[in-house]
């Protein structure tokens, strides 16, 4: 009970420290326990606004303010079908599940083999397992089975929006991705049917690079 109060209090404080957020995003971040997704040794830092190392690979779990930005840009709503490229520890995917409940689905594709397995165990524990699936693979090369997707959220830095993603995008769907090189990217939202133009350019960001199965893409 004390532990429960403790993480909820810390999650609430962290969310308040992030400034004005979309209220639904803020609520989801108060409800999904980030400490369940970080390595046990780092659980005490789970509610600080900082990236944390993943237990496998050389990647990190994005800082909460960046996760909040990705979620706000994705404009999630109940029932949407979502693909995440680079699902890592599964934290963003769990938040997406919360924001698309009760019927939305999330397919996460992750290159580092140990990570989807661990992410699956976590969402099972949290009761999201029927709506969130984690798949091992190169997300520039494969997607999940529950497309076409209303939203594609890319969580690793990419030079391009791969044709594969656009082919699996549902009508009126959007792709949110950090586009740039290894030194920095800008968050981009692609919406093919937007009368103002397909691309919305957002803030600068720094994600780990998308790697092709054999070599870094950027
Ligand atoms: N939202 C994730 C962020 C993980 S960091 C989270 O909450 O944990 C980005 C992830 O992208 C890393 O786990 C990295 O291994 C993965 N990645 C890099 N290139 C990839 C590719 N081609 N396909 C799938 N995942 C990739």
For residue 217, what pLDDT band results from cuts at 50, 70 and 90?
Answer: low
Residue 215 is among the residues annotated as catalytic for this protein: no
For residue 2, pLDDT over 70 is answered with: no
Any atom of ligand 1 within 6 Å of the Cβ of 51:
no
Q: Which of 17, 44, 62, 140 is catalytic?
A: 62
Average pLDDT score over the chain: 93
Q: What percent of the chain has pLDDT over 70?
A: 95
Q: Count H helices, E strands: the chain?
A: 6, 9
For residue 207, pLDDT over 60 is answered with: yes
Q: What is the pLDDT of residues 177-206, one digit of tens each?
A: 999 998 999 999 999 888 788 889 999 999
Which among 156, 165, 182, 205 is the best mutation to test ligand 1's pocket, defined by most ligand atoms within 8 Å of the CB?
Answer: 156
What pLDDT was estimated at residue 56? 78
Are 113 and 138 in contact by the 8 Å Cβ rule? The answer is no
Query: What CATH homologous superfamily does 63-205 map to?
Result: Vaccinia Virus protein VP39 (3.40.50.150)
Q: How many Cβ atoms from other residues are within 10 Å of residue 129's Cβ?
A: 15
Report the predicted TM-score, pTM, of the whole model to 2 decimal places.
Answer: 0.95
Tell me the three state secondary structure of residue 187: strand
Q: Which residue has the higher pLDDT, 22 or 213?
A: 22
Nearest atom within ligand 1 for CA of residue 62: 3
Question: Half-sphere exposure of 118 toward its Cβ, with a 13 Å CA cutoff?
Answer: 18
Considering just the CA atoms, what is the radius of gyration of the chain in Å? 16
User: Measured at the alpha carbon of residue 46, what is the angle toward residues 41 and 50, in degrees to the nearest 5?
Assistant: 110
For residue 92, pLDDT over 90 is answered with: yes
Map out the domains of the chain as residue ranges. 63-205
Q: What is the pLDDT of residues 95-143, one digit of tens each?
A: 999 999 999 999 999 999 999 999 999 999 999 999 999 999 999 999 9
Q: How far is the CA of 79 from the centre of ligand 1 (A)?
A: 24
DSSP class of residue 216 equals: B
Nearest Cα to Cα of residue 111 among 149, 81, 142, 132 = 142
97 — phi, psi (to 5°)? Answer: -60, -40
What pLDDT was estimated at residue 59? 82
Any atom of ligand 1 within 6 Å of the Cβ of 57:
yes
CB burial of residue 206 (10 Å; 0-12, 13-18, 19+)? middle
Are 152 and 83 in contact by the 8 Å Cβ rule? The answer is yes
Any atom of ligand 1 within 6 Å of the Cβ of 210:
yes
């Amino acid at each position: 009970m004390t532990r429960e109060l403790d993480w909820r209090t810390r999650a609430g404080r962290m969310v308040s420290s992030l400034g004005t957020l979309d209220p639904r995003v803020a609520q989801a971040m108060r409800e999904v326990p980030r400490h369940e997704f970080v390595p046990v040794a780092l659980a005490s830092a789970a509610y600080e606004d900082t990236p944390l190392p993943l237990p496998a690979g050389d990647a990190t779990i994005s800082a909460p303010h960046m996760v909040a930005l990705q979620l706000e840009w994705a404009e999630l709503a109940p029932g949407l079908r979502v693909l995440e490229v680079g699902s890592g520890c599964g934290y963003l995917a769990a938040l997406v599940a919360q924001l698309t409940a009760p019927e939305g689905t999330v397919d996460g594709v992750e290159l580092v083999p140990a990570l989807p397995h661990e992410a699956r165990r976590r969402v099972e524990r949290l009761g999201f397992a029927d709506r969130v699936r984690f798949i091992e693979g190169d997300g520039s090369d494969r997607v999940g089975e529950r497309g076409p997707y209303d939203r594609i959220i890319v969580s690793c830095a990419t030079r391009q929006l791969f044709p594969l993603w656009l082919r699996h995008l549902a009508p009126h769907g959007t792709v949110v991705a950090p586009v740039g090189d290894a030194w920095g990217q800008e968050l981009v939202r692609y919406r093919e049917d937007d009368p103002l133009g397909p691309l919305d350019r957002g803030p600068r960001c720094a994600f780990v690079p998308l790697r092709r199965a054999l070599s870094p893409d950027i």
